[in-house]
Amino acid sequence: MKGSEIDEFIGAFLILIGGIISVISALGIIRFPDVYTRAHAATKSTTLGVLLSLVGAFIYIWMTESLISVRLILGIVFVFITAPVSGHLIIRAAYRSKVKMTEDTVEDELKEVLGNKPEA
């Protein structure tokens, strides 16, 4: 294998892994029981999946076209910053709105911090 073929393979492999992680995340969103665990699946694994796909695309374009895409870099930074923050804000809003947790929830760490008691 030549160097360019290895670079193309690395880029394509990262895109493939990112796609697989995104599918697993979608399954988690469907299967998890409450809004808190669904938001966890939506933010953690989807962020990783999208970031791997964007990094794979960046590497592929960089190595095959000798072009550094500023748009892909900005997309990577934007997703890396906004996805976890938005997930945190959605979970905090759901908690303050007293959305019920699943019965399997063991510990409520926000109860002491916010003084909120979600309805059972």
- Residue 30, pLDDT score: 92
- The whole-chain average pLDDT of the chain stands at 86
* Mean pLDDT within 82-106: 86
DSSP assignment of 79-105 equals HHHHHHHHHHHHHHHHHHTTPPPPTT-
Report CA torsion sign: 110, 115, 118, 120: positive
pLDDT in tens, 13-33: 999 999 999 999 999 999 998
Tell me the Ramachandran region of residue 117: left when phi exceeds 0, alpha when psi lies from -120 to 50, beta otherwise: beta
- Residue 1, pLDDT score: 65
Residue 113 carries which side chain, given as an amino acid letter?
Answer: V
Which pLDDT band holds residue 119 (cuts at 50, 70, 90)?
low
- Residue 77, pLDDT score: 93
* Mean pLDDT within 111-115: 73
**How do the domains of the chain map onto residue ranges?**
3-100
